[in-house]
Amino acid sequence: MSADVAGRSPRTGGRFRFPTVILLTCAALGVAGAVLLAPMNWFSTVLTGPLPFAGMALAGLWLLPSVIALRLLHRPLVGLLVALIAGLVMVPFSGYGFSTVLTNLWWAAFTELPFLFVLWRYWGTWMHYLGALIVGIVYPISAWAWFDLGSMSLFAQIAFFAVTIASCVGGTALGILIADRLRRAGVGRRR
């Protein structure tokens, strides 16, 4: 199934099918994502206490595997599948145990969200950035107490949101770039 000029993908008959080649591609992306995210998980945890802004600068990396999968494969739910695989691979290497899986799925849900609203019938590039913008706003709000943002000045709060949004948009841009290069190299091509 290839996307047409408008970025739309043909309908799948209402079923979510995952052929073996899609599953293997998702598995490879999930493992590669885990290799990237496992050390970043520890690094961002260490930075969160003394340098929360530096920790937020890494937030966009959690979007990377899912964005690559969605951009490369143009299939429903592949972002969540890649995040699930990455989370499961990371469990033994994370100090957070199985909550790592939930964290990965949480971030990936925002990469899928814009495409869900159009029932995965349109794959425009801007939709990836919409998901990044949404999570860049939602994450600081959901982690308000964790980072004690209420005790920060208004300028620091705005900067915190700006760093998070920039990181998420940057991670998404990197994911799009990687997926496009993979596609040019022949990965994810369909007959």
**What pLDDT shows up at residue 3?**
47
User: Average of pLDDT values for 153-159?
Assistant: 91
**What pLDDT shows up at residue 109?**
97
pTM of the model: 0.86
Residues 6+ apart with CB under 8 A from 99: none
**What pLDDT shows up at residue 8?**
52
Tokens of 124: 């425009």
Tokens of 79: 């972002």
Residues 6+ apart with CB under 8 A from 156: 149
Distance (Å, whole) CA 167 – CA 179: 18
The model's confidence at residue 5, banded by pLDDT at 50, 70 and 90, is very low
pLDDT tens-digit profile of 93-143?
888 889 999 999 999 999 999 999 999 999 999 999 999 999 999 999 998
Tell me which residue of 74, 69, 79, 78 sits closest to 135, measured CA to CA: 79
Residue type, 151: S
**What pLDDT shows up at residue 15?**
55
